[in-house]
Every structure is written in structure tokens, then in C-alpha cells.
Structure 1
């Protein structure tokens, strides 16, 4: 009986090690992608684009059109109420 328990412990340890190694590889890939994104923003800035606005546009493009339009309408209503726009 102890052999079965020992084998299952070894299998569990191997599985844990493999999972951790997968996460480590993915973290490395994520860092590489983040570096690539940073390079693109640096290139855009060097070309004269406003990176802050680009980031806002990218965030907005992730939002479904209906949700974005609804949020923009509410934002406009609030800005009118605060006298920020007429």
C-alpha cells in the first residue's frame, strides 16, 4: 500500500512541477510581448503620435459599440451638468 501512495505522490509532484514550468514559460512569453508593445509605443511616440491617446483608443476599441456609446452619452450628460460643455 505504501508503494501506491508513494507513486501517487511522485505523480502529483511531477504534475505540479510541469504546471509551474508552464506558468514560468508563459510569464517569459508575456514579458517578451510586453516589451514588444513598449517598443511599438516608443516608435509611435518617435513618429509624433500621442501615446496616451493611443492607449485610450485601444481601451475603447475593446468595449462593444453599444456599451461604448452608452458610456459616452452618460459622460456627455455629466459634463453638461458640470458646465464643462454646452
Structure 2
């Protein structure tokens, strides 16, 4: 969290497939939110892909809501999956 800010951010949270649906991501998310509140964060942001419906449901249960959208583009010449 940047000094002087009251906003905390969660970036790049992932769970390996074999560990999904066990409550681990919810526990990690709750710990991150508590840690942010411990340093006076009053507002949190995160990013999740439109295709990741399970993560969106997790974040909605934690009180997050969609606040915006953007198109994420990658250069397919650098090994990123090409859009079809």
C-alpha cells in the first residue's frame, strides 16, 4: 500500500487446480484483507479476468463488486496465447 494511501490492492492470486474448492483462497483473501485493515486500509481493489467465474464468485462473497472493465492485450509474438 503506498504511503499515505488508504487503498489496498490484491494482485495475482492463484490456487493450483489440485488445491481448489477447499477454502484456501478464501482463507488467504481474508488474511490479506485483515492485514490491510491492520495498516488502516479502508478500501481494496483487485483484478480478475472475465473468464474466471469461480474467482469472481469468491470475491463477490468477500464483498467485492465490479467497478470497471478493460481489454487486456498481449503480444502473441512473445509466447502469449493469441486471441481468436
Quick check: TM above 0.5?
no
State the structure with bigger RCO (CA 8 A, min sep 6), 1 or 2: 2
Higher share in strand: 2
Higher share in helix: 1
* TM-score of the aligned structures, taking structure 1 as reference length: 0.27
Larger Rg: 1
